[in-house]
Amino acid sequence: MGFVNLYGIVSHVGASAAPPRPMAEVPYQDNRWITVQLVGEVRPNKDFQRGISQHPTVGDRAHLVTKEDLGTIYRRPKDPRYIEIGHLAAAESIPALIDLNALVTRHSAVVGATGSGKSTTVAGVLSALADSERYPSARVLIIDIHGEYGAALGERAAIYRTNADEGAGERPLHIPYWAMILDELMPITFGALEGRDRGALVDRIVGLKRHAIEAATVEDVTENDLTVDTPVPFSIHRLWFDLHCEVNATHFERAGTVQSRDTWALEIGADGRPKQPGDAMSAIPPRFRGLKDVRGDTEKIRLSNSNLNMSRGIDALGARLRDPRFNFLFRPGPYMPNEEGYVEADLGSLLSDWLGEEQPVTVLDLSGVPSTIQGEVVGTLLRILYDALFWARNLSEGGRERPLLIVLEEAHAYLGSGSEGRAAAGVRRIAKEGRKYGIGIMLVSQRPSEIDATVLSQCGTIFAMRLANREDRGKVEGAASDSLEGLFGVLPVLRTGEALVVGEAVNIPIRANVDRVRRPPDSADPAVVVEGNEEDGYASPGGWNQRRDKADYNEVVQVWRRQNPRPSKVVRQEETVVGGENEA
């Protein structure tokens, strides 16, 4: 149009007796037709801009784009605002570029069926973000519930997991329970409490936190600032022990005395000492005498006169305090308070580990977290990160000066439609408000139809990979900001590793082949048939077509019992005797 080039995307191609909609009469017309939707324009000496300022008229010529046109639209040479994730599917010489600002602050989603290359695509995008020369202050945190990304990101990532292999560079994952707010702590400790019981628990926790402040274990908060949700260390083991004894203790009845520790009726052994006096830090309860046991003829034993009705919650918490699977939460290493509330390391050290590492990427591997509390743990992590960066919004390490991208792997597991869990609430909060404070999210899911529509609609950029399910495709099409008719019809036929990228991070929707990372995530399909045969004593790993080695299911039971996929012992090659000499 004069000096202006208008660009459009072909969304339909067909051949029929009549076009899909009425068309003006032209000198030559047959039964072949295309539908084009205009998306942007280029003016002389200007970059490509979305939107058009004028429309073509009937009879104007339409042209196929050239390589130079594609370069005009897509190329951003050496512009730090853009990262290269691969190349265009239609032109291998033209890079597929993503606007980094829009990707992080306007949120994004990576969706695709199992085997479509979804995890590899995420790893490729994160590898581009983790370029220390271009982005030395990058901050990316991955909440990885299946432990897939540690191997893919290698030296660019700090990996935290519950069963850490410190010899391999992994670090133990600690999530201090005292950093939780009450609504997060209750479901994994006492359960639902109402009325008087809940109020009593709040008073006990506040009292323990106040004691920690008075003991000067925490110096940057005063009693006037203290609430039950203030992240001040307190001993949950002491809380459990005191409540257990108050509710379950039996007491000797003595005239003129009230029930106290001095009146406890403990079981006594043959040596005259209590059989089990109990230990708070080990979560071992005292053993009290029954009502029929007496000491002498003049003393009677009475039940506790406590009015608390939380014995079930107390027993449940005691069991979890003794369960080693919950050690990352209730025995969080240097963040575990003693009975006085003293900790070796405070939250500043924890945030420095997660957000201030030399590596640009931090992987929080939750594969060892019990599935019963996985959603609550994800919600807690999101809330801690959001609160920290929200209150630090005017500081150099806040989100405004150094934004944070949070990647949520397998998001459908805790973001189901209508979900009211802590994880869903945390994601909704970040999706709606995180942009203002420099916190972005990237959802990764194989079932977009199961993700809450409110959350998915907040994702400004969508990487749509192969999706055969009609319901999934409809959900993605409804959430995409570029609602080009027919654009998503190619999703069922996309190749592995190929993505349709739409939204704010691209000038116009692109179909791209994403670069593969050197070490893909640990999410590949198992090989049923492995190419190659055994030669010169070499046995290919795995595959039904390979020689079957001697089975050792004792190792299976070992890792099962330890809840750790890595065997604890080193498997050594057996020695064989040949000609009277030992050969390894």
Chain segment 448-484, per-residue pLDDT in tens: 998 888 888 899 999 999 998 989 988 898 888 766 6
CA–CA dist 401, 349 (Å, integer):
20
Among 527, 482, 534, 535, residue whose Cα is nearest residue 506: 482
Rounded mean pLDDT, 197-206: 94
Domain that holds residue 40: 5-64
Q: Is residue 525 part of a domain?
A: no
Q: Is residue 178 part of a domain?
A: no
Is residue 195 domain-shared with residue 310, that is, in the same domain? yes
Q: What is the pTM of this model?
A: 0.84
Phi, psi (degrees; rounded to nearest 5) at 559: -70, -30
Is the pLDDT assigned to residue 575 strictly greater than 60?
Answer: no
Rounded mean pLDDT, 392-420: 86
What does the pLDDT read at residue 579? 45
Q: Is residue 173 part of a domain?
A: no
Q: Which helix (H) or strand (E) holds 245?
A: helix 236-248
Q: Is residue 520 part of a domain?
A: no
CA–CA dist 322, 296 (Å, integer):
36
Is residue 438 domain-shared with residue 407, that is, in the same domain? yes
Q: Higher model confidence: residue 533 or residue 536?
A: 533
Q: Is residue 547 part of a domain?
A: no
Termini Cα distance of the chain: 79
Of 321, 349, 373, which marks where a domain is finished? Answer: 321
Phi, psi (degrees; rounded to nearest 5) at 243: -70, -40
Beta bridge partners of 514: 86
Q: Higher model confidence: residue 90 or residue 308?
A: 308
Q: Are 509 and 484 in contact (CB under 8 A)?
A: yes
Supply the CATH number for residue 139's domain: 3.40.50.300
Is the pLDDT assigned to residue 306 strictly greater than 90?
Answer: no
Beta bridge partners of 314: none
Q: Is residue 352 part of a domain?
A: no
Is residue 363 domain-shared with residue 478, that is, in the same domain? yes
Is residue 389 domain-shared with residue 307, that is, in the same domain? no
What does the pLDDT read at residue 538? 46
Is residue 290 domain-shared with residue 188, that is, in the same domain? yes
Q: Are 178 and 231 in contact (CB under 8 A)?
A: yes
Is residue 435 domain-shared with residue 501, that is, in the same domain? yes
Among 317, 379, 392, residue whose Cα is nearest residue 351: 392
Is residue 294 domain-shared with residue 195, that is, in the same domain? yes
Is the pLDDT assigned to residue 411 strictly greater than 50?
Answer: yes
DSSP string, 288-323: BPPTT--SSSS-EEEE-------HHHHHHHHHHHH-
Is the pLDDT assigned to residue 537 strictly greater than 70?
Answer: no
Q: Is residue 539 part of a domain?
A: no
Is residue 157 domain-shared with residue 206, that is, in the same domain? no
Q: Determine the residue type at 318.
A: G
Assign 404 to helix, strand or coil.
strand
Among 348, 355, 343, residue whose Cα is nearest residue 137: 355
Q: Are 97 and 74 in contact (CB under 8 A)?
A: yes
Reported as a pLDDT band with limits 50, 70 and 90, residue 21 is low
Q: Higher model confidence: residue 541 or residue 201?
A: 201
Is residue 461 domain-shared with residue 419, that is, in the same domain? yes
Q: Are 442 and 108 in contact (CB under 8 A)?
A: yes
- Burial per residue of 532-570, b for 16 or more beta-carbon CB atoms within 10 angstroms, e otherwise: eeeeeeeeeeeeeebeeeeeeeeeeeeeeeeebeeeeee
Is residue 411 domain-shared with residue 487, that is, in the same domain? yes
Q: Is residue 69 part of a domain?
A: no
Rounded mean pLDDT, 182-188: 93
Is residue 396 domain-shared with residue 490, that is, in the same domain? yes
Is residue 158 domain-shared with residue 123, that is, in the same domain? yes
Question: How many separate domains does the chain show?
Answer: 4
What does the pLDDT read at residue 569? 54
